[in-house]
Structure 1
Amino acid sequence: MTIGFVTGLAAEARLLAGVSRFVGIGGGTPEGAATEAERLIGLGAAGLISFGLAGGLDPALPPGFLLVPQRIVEQDSTYECDPRLIEKIGGVTVGLLLGGDAVAATIAAKAALFGGTGASAIDLESGAIARVARAHGVPFAVLRAVADPAWRDLPAAAIIALDHAGRIAIGRIALSIARQPGQLPALMTLARDAAKARSTLLERVRVRFSTSP
Structure 2
Amino acid sequence: MPSFIGVICGLKSEAAVVSASVDQSKIRIGVSGANAARAEEIAKELCEQGASAIISVGVSGGLDPALKPGDLIIGETVIADDGSVYASDRYLMAAIQSAHPGESRGPEKSGRMDPGPAAKRPNQKQRAFARGRRDVRSGYRFASLFGADEIIDSTTIKSALYHNHGCLAVDMESHGAARAAARAGAPFLAIRAIADPADRALPKAALNAVASDGSTRVLQTLVAALRDPKQFPELMKLGADSAAATKTLRRDLGPLFEILFKNLDV
TM interval, short-chain normalised: over 0.9
Give distance in 1, aligned partners of 2:4 and 2:95.
Answer: 12
Alignment of 1:52-131 (within 5 A): 52-74=58-80, 75-89=82-96, 93-131=141-179
1:209 is aligned to 2:253: no
Is 139-148 or 93-102 further displaced after alignment?
Answer: 93-102
Q: Which residue in the other structure is 1:41 paired with?
A: 47
TM-score normalised by the chain length of structure 2 = 0.75
Give distance in 1, aligned partners of 2:207 and 2:94.
Answer: 33
TM-score normalised by the chain length of structure 1 = 0.93
Give distance in 1, aligned partners of 2:232 and 2:186.
Answer: 43
SS in 2 for 1:95: strand
Per-residue CA distance 1:1-57 (angstroms, 9 max, x = gap): 621110000000011213443100000111121121112112221210010010111
Q: 2:56, 2:177 within 8 Å by CA — same for their partners in 1? A: yes
Give distance in 1, aligned partners of 2:10 and 2:245.
Answer: 14
1:185 is aligned to 2:233: yes
Per-residue CA distance 1:147-206 (angstroms, 9 max, x = gap): 010011111122110111110112320221121111111111111111110111111112
SS in 1 for 2:55: strand
Give distance in 1, aligned partners of 2:94 and 2:207.
Answer: 33
Per-residue CA distance 1:75-113 (angstroms, 9 max, x = gap): 221111002322455566232111111111111111111
SS in 1 for 2:51: coil
SS in 2 for 1:131: helix
| Structure 2: runs of 5+ lacking an equivalent | 101-139
Per-residue CA distance 1:102-142 (angstroms, 9 max, x = gap): 11111111111111111111101011111111110001000
Matched positions, count:
212
Q: Which residue in the other structure is 1:15 paired with?
A: 17
SS in 2 for 1:209: helix
Compute the RMSD of aligned alpha carbons.
Answer: 1.8
Moved runs in structure 1, 4+ residues, more than 6 A?
none
| Structure 1: runs of 5+ lacking an equivalent | none
Give distance in 2, aligned partners of 1:154 and 1:187.
Answer: 8
For residue 31 of structure 1, the aligned residue among 37, 40, 43 is: 37
Report sequence identity in percent: 35
Structure possessing the higher radius of gyration over alpha carbons? 2
Give distance in 1, aligned partners of 2:71 and 2:54.
Answer: 21
